[in-house]
Amino acid sequence: MDPLIGMGALALMGAAATIAGASEDLESDIGSQSNPNSQVQLAPQMSYPHRIYNKAISGEPPSNALMCTIGGTVAYVMLNFNVSVVLALTIGSLVAAMVHGTYATTAYMGRCSSQKRFKQMVYLDVLRSHTPPIMGYSFITTFTILVVSYIMVTVFAHPFPLPLLAFIWGITVGAIGSSTGDVHYGAEREFQDVEFGSGLNTANSGKIVRKAESGLRSSMDNSWFCAKFGGPVTGIAFGMTVFLSGWITTVFDPSKGPAAGWESVIAGALIILVMIIYNRKMEVSARKEFGPYKEDKEEAA
Amino acid sequence: MIDIAGLIAENIIYVLLITLGGVLVSVSVHFVPVGGAPAAMAQACGIGTGTVQLAAGAGLTGLVTAGAMMGVTDNIGLVLASGTVGGMIMIAVTMIVGNWVYFYGVGCPAASAKVKYDPITKDRQDLYISQGTEGHAIPTVSFVSGVIGAGLGGLGGGLVYYALLKIGEVASGLTVKDIMSTTGHELVGLASIFAVGIFFMNAVIPSYNIGGTIEGFHDPKFKRWPRAAITSLVVTFLCAILAVVTLGGM
Amino acid sequence: MSAGGSGEAHAAIPQNQLIAFGIIGGLIGIYAAFFLSNVAGGVFSFMGALGAICATIWGAAAVRRVASYGLGTGVPSIGMLALGMGVVAAMFGLAVAEGFGLAIAGPLIALVVASIIGLLIGIFANKVLRMNIPVMEQSMTEIAASGTILIIGLSVAMTGTFLFDVVLEDVITTGYIAVIFIAGGMALLHPFNANLGPDEKQDRTLYNALEKGAIAMIIAGIVALSVQNASVGMVTVLIGIFLWYYGFTGFYARVKRDAFKVVGTGLLPSEEELE
């Protein structure tokens, strides 16, 4: 393969993956999914009933894998009928978004009605107003993941079939989304009323913010907030993962021989080393900026 | 008619490789610093997600890169190394960006609650834990531990996939290169889904072992790894034999 | 991810009945589809998906039973474990049966093998990993077995048969096995996960399982459009949509029954209501 074409395709993959990461995170924030949702789940028990969407569709990795795989499967079926690629990926994503909508709806209804004793109501207007944006974001995520998988199969001749690649990238985007962007939602937005600059005190567990600038807070407000930081950085994380793991084998093409292959491995190892050092620098600067929370009693004594 | 005993005897080396791969995946999960749900609220040290999911994310990224590498070469060292590096890159990026969110989005420094001093950097930890939490973010020791874990996971996943394809190669009388040159060969599909299945089983077993959260190799829970390794050894060995018969009997 | 409460969940339908329903319904569906595959161009392959739905309901009930003790990590893990075990056992069962010239026994062999793997993991989970969940051994066996029936059932719905070479060609090589894996796994784990809470009711959870199983059936039908032919696929999709509708309305009726209130819109409950 021409290295320039490889680089171009890789750049496209990286861009698509960045969008996928960002929309994945906002999709999980708008519905309150995965780990931060434990607080939304806990809130009614602490006498904090709320109007937040309780979208407990398993963890994010399986739920994203589900929609991406369904999208990939439907697209692959359509490709077998010689439908154009763009149309096939679009219809696939559409079916995936619809399925995702049913999962979101049943999760909201099921979780809320299982909290009868805490007087948590099922608000149908929350369902009506939030489910379409959830489906919209899931459409974007599925479509971009399918673009990544399709490029891998066609341009980079990856041996795995399209639905399986979509499955794996779905798991990965979910894993990244739930470990990065979700923290912004869980640790900051859900507890915006406590002082900035600390983790959630266990004593405050479940006491989520339920009121907004005007009226009651909805999950729509949460995705507005997370779109400022949590969503974009998730995009960067997934984009970087897809880009860097492809970059090393595009620059040092292992099909040219084992030597180039080992160079690609060394390049990957160097990238990891740089990241460890960068993380250390960041850790030190954060410790210096924020300072310790308590005095050192041993030294004071 | 399948000669099961003969098949197993013939492929015993691959059975052992698959088993080793499964055990590696199982051990690798103990290295990955996951704080589970509390970490997502900066209430516990580690990455704010579930064990299985993160290990799967890292390991399967490794599987994709190993699969791509195996498409162009059958050098076992190269395949395994690329799987290792693929998993490591995924988790390193995830932890870096996770730390961005902890530092710049939530405003708390990295701190572990399980040790007083970071074993690698010798930094004091307990003073940096905010009130009512079990630490937050990903300190250097957890970061390094996570990179090791994802590397082992990618290595294990790659090893399982490599061994599965090799069994198919022996059975079908083709070389890996031949298999790869025909796009969408049945062996690739079967080997990859088997690898995914074995991977998931070995990611769930250790996460039950550690009860869903761990900070890394400095965590006292890390000492429990032999239990998960034994379980994985037995289960993966059984699966490896099933896989040999399935692939070899084709 | 809350890990569920602790203790045995109350079950209106005893687990033994659900086991019988899952195994018998599942196998009848799979074998009916297999033997009727030559009738009317294979339109009866939807029976395989019906078998898969029976297995889904059974598996979801088993997940509910074991996960209500609290697994220490999210409910999803057990669904992934189920399908991990299921996919290995299913492929082995179908392949080895065909290798011995007993293709017809494939699903049965797969079922037995899956039960053995599940039992093994269950024993190890309690004895070695010390999870100490009383129903662990039985539930793991059930979950692995139901996952296997699910995989074979959906494969039959896609291809019309469980002969290994056909399944290998049309389901594995094309990668459709990935969608069986995840759509099936989610159908097992989602019902209990989505209804988690102190006022969870078994029948509501199981209606949810029916609804999610039907979605897997619809997807299998879409695949059958290309693997078999348009009429087979359409029949499966249409029956799937009907079952989905039935499952969803049944689920929604139980939500209205069980919820504190189902309101079009409204504020939070007042202070007096919270007392």
SS3 string, A151-164, reads HHHHCCCCCCCHHH
Q: Which residue of B has its CA nearest to C109?
A: B242
On chain A, the residues whose CB falls within 8 A of the CB of C212 are 103, 106
pTM: 0.93
Closest-approach residue (CA) in chain A for B72 = A255
Amino acid B168: pLDDT: 77
Residues of A whose CB is below 8 A from C64? none
Q: Quick check: is A294 in a domain?
A: no
User: Per the structure, how many domains does chain B have?
Assistant: 1
The C-alpha of C134 sits at a distance from chain A's nearest C-alpha, in angstroms, of: 24
Return the structure tokens found at A89. 């990926």
Exposed e or buried b for every residue in B122-156, given b needs 16+ CB within 10 A? ebebbbbbbeebbbbbbbbbbbbbbbbbbbbbbbb
Q: Is residue A128 part of a domain?
A: yes
- pLDDT given for residue C79 in this prediction: 82
> How many domains would you assign to chain A?
1
pLDDT at residue C208 greater than cutoff 90: yes
Instruction: Name beta bridge partners: A227.
Output: none
Q: Does residue C10 fall inside a structural domain?
A: no
**Interface touch A175/B56, C-beta < 8 Å:** yes
C-beta atoms of A245 and B78 within 8 A: no
* A259 lies in some domain: no
Preferred mutation among B79, B93, B180 to probe A, highest tally of A CBs within 10 A: B93
Q: Is residue A90 part of a domain?
A: yes
pLDDT values of chain B reduced to their tens digit, one per residue, 250 residues: 567 778 788 888 899 999 999 999 999 989 999 888 888 888 888 888 877 778 888 888 888 888 888 878 778 888 899 999 999 999 999 999 999 999 998 888 898 888 888 888 888 888 888 888 888 889 999 999 999 999 999 999 889 988 888 887 766 666 655 655 555 567 888 888 888 888 888 988 888 888 778 888 888 888 888 999 999 999 999 999 888 888 876 6
**Which is it for strands C262-263 and A122-123: parallel, antiparallel or unpaired?**
parallel
From chain C, the residues in CB contact with A205 under 8 A are none
Q: Which of residues 197-216 of C touch A (CB under 8 A)?
A: 197-201, 204-205, 208, 211-212, 215
Q: What is the DSSP letter of C169?
A: I
Q: Compute the 3-state secondary structure of chain B and give helix, strand, coil in percent, each to the nearest 5.
A: 70, 5, 25
Whether residue A166 and residue C178 make contact (CB cut-off 8 A), yes or no, is yes
Any alpha helices (H) in chain A, and if so which ranges? 3-31, 37-42, 60-80, 85-113, 124-154, 162-179, 181-183, 219-226, 230-251, 258-290, 297-300
What was the pLDDT predicted at B182? 53
Tens of pLDDT, residue by residue over C66-83, are 888 877 666 778 888 888
* Mean pLDDT of the residues in chain C: 87
Domain-embedded: residue A137: yes
Q: How confident is the model at residue A291 (pLDDT cuts 50, 70, 90)?
A: confident
Asked if residue C1 is part of any domain, the answer here is no
Cβ distance of C172 and B189 shorter than 8 Å: yes
State the smallest CA–CA distance between residue A66 and chain B in angstroms: 13
Mean predicted confidence (pLDDT) in C271-275: 73
Beta bridge partners, B136, equal B111
A209 within a domain of the structure (yes/no): yes
Query: Which of A95-109, B211-225, C206-220 is predicted with the least confidence, judged by mean pLDDT?
Result: B211-225
Q: Does C182 touch chain A (CB under 8 A)?
A: yes
Q: Identify the pLDDT of residue C1.
A: 33
Q: What pLDDT is attached to residue B179?
A: 58
B242 touches chain C (CB under 8 A): yes
d(CA B245, CA C109): 13
Q: What is the DSSP string of A218-278?
A: -HHHHHHHHTTTHHHHHHHHHHHHHHHHHHHHHHS-GGG-HHHHHHHHHHHHHHHHHHHHH
> Do B227 and C87 make contact, defined as CB atoms within 8 angstroms?
no
Please tell me the distance from the alpha carbon of residue B181 to that of residue A20, in angstroms, as a whole number.
31
Note the ipTM here: 0.91
Cβ of B53 within 8 Å of Cβ of A165? The answer is no
Q: How confident is the model at residue A295 (pLDDT cuts 50, 70, 90)?
A: confident
Residues in chain C within 8 Å Cβ distance of A69: 178-179, 181-183
Mean pLDDT of C129-134: 81
Q: Which domain does B219 fall in, by range?
A: 4-243
> Does A186 fall in a domain?
yes
- Picking from B37, B53, B105, the nearest residue to A229 by CB comes out as B105
Which member of B58, B99, B108 has the closest CB to residue A198?
B108
Which domain covers residue A174, as residue numbers? 3-251
Chains contacting A (3 or more CB pairs within 8 Å)? B, C
Nearest CA in chain C to A109: C255
Contacting residues of A for B36, CB less than 8 Å apart: 35
Judging contacts by C-beta atoms under 8 Å, the chain A residues touching residue B50 are 35, 59, 178
Q: What is the pLDDT of residues A221-242, one digit of tens each?
A: 888 999 999 999 999 999 999 9
Q: Say what angle helices A124-154 and A60-80 make with each other, to 10 degrees.
A: 60
What is the extent of the structural domain holding C111? 15-274
Would you say A89 and A143 are in contact if contact means Cβ atoms under 8 Å apart?
yes
- Output the pLDDT for position A256: 82
Name every residue whose Cβ is closer than 8 Å to that of residue C121 and which is 6 or more positions away in sequence: B201, B205, B231, B235, C81, C85, C140, C144
CA dist., res. B105 & res. A193, Å (int): 15
Q: Which pLDDT belongs to residue B1?
A: 53
B1, B53, B207 member nearest C99 (Cβ): B1
